[in-house]
């Protein structure tokens, strides 16, 4: 059942993201937005994963991270591929924390928050419901959030940053793994393009992956190799932005 549901949500996610971004690229976060797209210090690299947990695939990614002895950040949903009410979903979250990684908020049901008709109450509930559940599971308040599809507007920022006091995290390396799940070579090519000409003495990066997708653990292996060979130091998002 989990595999079937995972497949369904993979297809829904791919279709939704394609529709959301058709003819309109991800918003370019400006420094004055107070939205984080890179780390505060050069030489840092933050590996991030969205949309999970999905027991099985998230576990495989965690195995890779453990073997490589690097930390990452997982922006989790309340109910997409898995359910934070479930024993399996909560166990995966606890393992993420226990192994030194960081948890972030990615809303309850993965909606496009920047829709102009979406109410303040709906945006607030989508974020706060995950925050409250993660507090229950981990015993800690979660300080970081990433909007689904990277979509935000002034209203979303007012709610997430102003009312809820969360840091909004974007990225400056997009693997586009959602558009070619399982194609590790294509994702690594995006790494090469988006880090071209960079150097750890002056640059830093936050990379976007999706742990529930097919091939997510294989991509993690190659991404780790690539960024280590480029001379970058792996950090959680909290370390990256100086929390």
What number of residues does the chain have? 243
DSSP one-letter code for 31: G
Give the separation between CA 159 and CA 35, rounded to whole angstroms. 13
Q: At what angle do helices 57-68 and 216-229 cross, to 10 degrees?
A: 20
Q: What burial letters (b/e) apply to 24-41, b meaning 16+ CB within 10 Å?
A: eeebebeeebebbbbbee
The reply to whether 177 belongs to the active site is: no
How does pLDDT run across 8-18, given as a tens digit for each residue? 444 444 444 44
Residue ranges per structural domain of the chain: 2-22+34-241
Distances from the Cα of 180 to the Cαs of 11, 18, 219, in angstroms?
12, 12, 11
Q: Phi-psi category of 56—alpha, beta or left, where left has phi over 0 and alpha has psi -120 to 50?
A: left
* Domain 2-22+34-241: assigned CATH number: 3.20.20.370
Q: Which of 101, 106, 209, 210 is catalytic?
A: 210
The reply to whether 210 belongs to the active site is: yes
pLDDT > 60? residue 152: yes
Q: Which of 50, 51, 203, 211 is catalytic?
A: 50
pTM: 0.88
Give the separation between CA 77 and CA 79, rounded to whole angstroms. 6
How does pLDDT run across 75-118, given as a tens digit for each residue? 999 998 888 999 999 999 999 999 999 999 999 999 999 999 99
SS3 37: coil
């Amino acid at each position: 059942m989990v595999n079937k549901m995972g497949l369904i949500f993979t297809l829904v996610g791919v279709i939704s993201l394609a529709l959301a971004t058709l003819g309109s690229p991800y918003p370019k976060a400006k420094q004055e937005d107070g939205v984080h797209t890179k780390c505060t210090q050069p030489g840092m690299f933050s590996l991030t994963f969205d949309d999970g947990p999905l027991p099985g695939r998230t576990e495989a990614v965690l195995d890779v991270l453990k073997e490589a002895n690097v930390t990452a950040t997982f922006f989790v949903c309340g109910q997409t591929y898995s359910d934070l009410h479930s024993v399996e979903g909560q166990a995966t979250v606890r393992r993420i924390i226990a192994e030194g990684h960081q948890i972030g908020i990615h809303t309850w049901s993965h909606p496009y928050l920047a829709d102009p008709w979406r109410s303040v109450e709906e945006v607030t509930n989508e974020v706060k419901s995950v925050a409250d559940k993660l507090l229950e599971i981990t015993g800690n308040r979660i300080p970081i959030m990433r909007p689904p599809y990277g979509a935000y507007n002034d209203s979303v920022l007012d709610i997430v940053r102003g009312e809820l006091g969360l840091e909004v995290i974007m990225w400056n390396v997009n693997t586009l793994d959602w558009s070619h799940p399982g194609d590790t070579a294509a994702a690594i090519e995006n790494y090469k393009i988006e880090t071209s000409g960079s150097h750890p003495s002056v640059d830093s990066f936050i990379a976007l992956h999706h742990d529930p997708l097919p091939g997510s653990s294989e991509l993690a292996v190659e991404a780790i190799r690539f960024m280590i060979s480029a001379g970058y130091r792996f950090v959680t998002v909290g370390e990256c932005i100086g929390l």
